[in-house]
A = this chain, B = another copy of it.
């Protein structure tokens, strides 16, 4: 018997209350009893996104929300700036290019953080740039970019939309959509929101809706204008993912019970304990700057294959973390502390990591990392 532990940066564990809510019998998405459910979901999302804007609910993965954030607000030939510090930065570039946008990239090495001043100089050099795209948390490197700083820069450029993929960051990081003036924020269900995959959320500012009027890229499924019109009537454009939206309300209820500030504090505490435990074991953190509160990217020790650590964690100890992607493959592995996560998820992840490293011949004293995590997680 092997119990399963999900410590991946999405999908993440779903709390029992949420699972239970989604086990209720199906209701019809156009029937009157579904309207208050959508109404509640859209208010809950505004609370979570810290915005007065509408937050659209799409039946798709997070990537669908990213695609819609391109093809509803831009035109072929538009110049845009992609801030690329990892695998998901690359995705923005690919999506933009697939619709004929002209992409300029601000690149940083994997594990490093985009600087607002780099964004500012790029925008000053070319004031014709119509949008700036970034990840809040770059899941592949475990870096949280300086969204507040970058937002402060982009805000100064009247013709530029600031588009943030916050799929892995939401719930774990305090992202202030309205206060910082972020035009588009994309979220997904299977991360901090503690739901199964299948929903994307997109918050859209007035500035972005204005731009929407001039966008000519064809789209049928991700039609944000129609989604907005439907949302005003507590509906969605096509069939709703009824079950997931019911679960969404329950997940938001759970988060509201804890309080947004406490939710952020919990994530920061778990992330910090994970990093310090890893360091106590003599391992390096792959994120050289601004490590995220969602996921910790850990460097495999010299001579040890990061994918092997991932594999043994999973096969012998039942723990599903994540390996490295692309150029980080083999060099790192990742443990998340995202969503429905607490003290003993960190302890479990670190204890298992120690056991795996020991098996792989890495010189360590069992319990060293755990002790550091315990010290930091005592209440």
Contacts and interface: CB of A to CB of B under 8 A. Distances in A.
Interface in A165-193: none
Interface in A261-291: 262-263, 266
21 contacts: A1-B254, A1-B258, A1-B262, A3-B342, A3-B345, A5-B344, A23-B23, A344-B352, A347-B348, A347-B351, A348-B348, A351-B374, A355-B374, A359-B378, A365-B371, A366-B375, A367-B368, A367-B370, A367-B374, A370-B370, A370-B374
Which of under 10, 10 to 19, 20 to 34, or 35 or more describes the interface residues of A? 35 or more
Contacts of A258: 1
Contact of A317 (B266, B343, B368): B343
A379 B347 contact: no
Nearest to A257: B1
A366 B345 CA distance: 17
A354 interface: yes
Contacts of A355: 374, 377-378
Given A317-B344, A368-B371, A370-B371, 9 more contacts: A1-B263, A1-B266, A1-B340, A318-B344, A344-B348, A347-B351, A355-B378, A366-B374, A367-B371
Interface in A314-355: 316-318, 340, 342-345, 347-348, 351-352, 354-355
